[in-house]
Structure 1
Amino acid sequence: MNLTSFTDYGLRMLMRMASAPDRAFSTADLAEEFKLSRNHLAKIMQRLAQGGIVETRRGVNGGAVLRSSPAEIRLGDVVRVLEQGQALVACFGPDAGCTIEGCCRLKSRLRQAERQFIADLNRSTLADIALPEPAAA
């Protein structure tokens, strides 16, 4: 199993946000901390907002905040939101063109494994993986 970099970066952002759940985080600050593209992180933040995981605010005191406490945000749910539209294997995609569609016994097993993977991740929360608050400079 290989998660996309989109999901990897999204999890990193949420791990940092979980370290100070009442603070608003700008994508610029997160991009600087993790040495990642601000534009890419903005797209990830947008997906997290659409998925109901974060709330974004504009303005001087703007940024993104968690919509729930870190202890209520399940990792499997986060991965499902971030991996939305990413097929586990090519034959799950919309234009698979599979030549063994009618007799394939693998597809159902892979779907079951994917469900179990998400269920296992859902046994943990964002609070379980929160990064320590960075020391003041």
Structure 2
Amino acid sequence: MNSEFTIAVHSLVYLAYLPERMASSEAIADNVSTNPARIRKVMSCLRKGGYVATREGAGGGYRLTLDPSLVNLADVYRLLAQGSVIPSWCSGDPDMDCVVGSHMRDVMNSIFCKAEKQLEAYFAGITVADVLKQIRDCGEC
């Protein structure tokens, strides 16, 4: 899993939390505890995906464009992190004489692909509004 997914979800939930649903990259970065350049990179992907819009100038920033109850985490995952469950390197070599070594890579890739599909299915049942509700419920603990 890459950190861009976590940053994206945090940013979307933060924008959903704000009454005007707008914040600068500096304000979002402060809330996420990262730097504004990293926020701008993630927000650029979210803008291309249609989740946020930008407004230039004084009082500008990023604005949530969709109803938080319609944005599920699977869509955000696919936009920013799809494939991140699958490791970039896998043991084995298809040219080995050993049955284990020659098939390990294909078998592990199949396992990781199935795991990612299950993760996406799980994320599909969680919206930005659900995450915000859980956060608000934590505040009542």
TM range (shorter): 0.7 to 0.9
- Structure 1 portions without partners, runs of 5+: 133-137
Matched, 1:29 2:27: yes
Who is 2:48 aligned against?
50
Who is 1:20 aligned against?
18
Compute the TM-score of the two structures, normalised by the length of structure 2: 0.76
SS of match in other structure, 1:90: coil
Find the aligned partners of 2:46 and 2:83 in 1 and give their Cα distance.
Answer: 14
The superposition leaves residues 27-48 of structure 1 with CA deviations (integer Å, 9 ceiling, x where unpaired) of 1111123331111111111111
Structure with larger RCO (C-alpha < 8 A, sep 6+): 1
Find the aligned partners of 2:91 and 2:107 in 1 and give their Cα distance.
Answer: 16
Deviates more, 1:3-12 or 1:97-106: 97-106
Decide whether the 8 Å contact of 1:21 with 1:66 is kept in 2: no
Decide whether the 8 Å contact of 1:27 with 1:38 is kept in 2: yes
Report the Cα offset of residue 70 of structure 1.
0.1
Report the Cα offset of residue 115 of structure 1.
1.1
Q: Which amino acid aligns with 1:72?
A: L
Who is 2:124 aligned against?
122
Q: How many residue pairs get matched?
A: 126
* The structure with more helix, counted as a fraction of residues: 2
RMSD over equivalenced CA pairs, Å: 2.5
Report the Cα offset of residue 124 of structure 1.
1.0
Higher Cα radius of gyration: 2
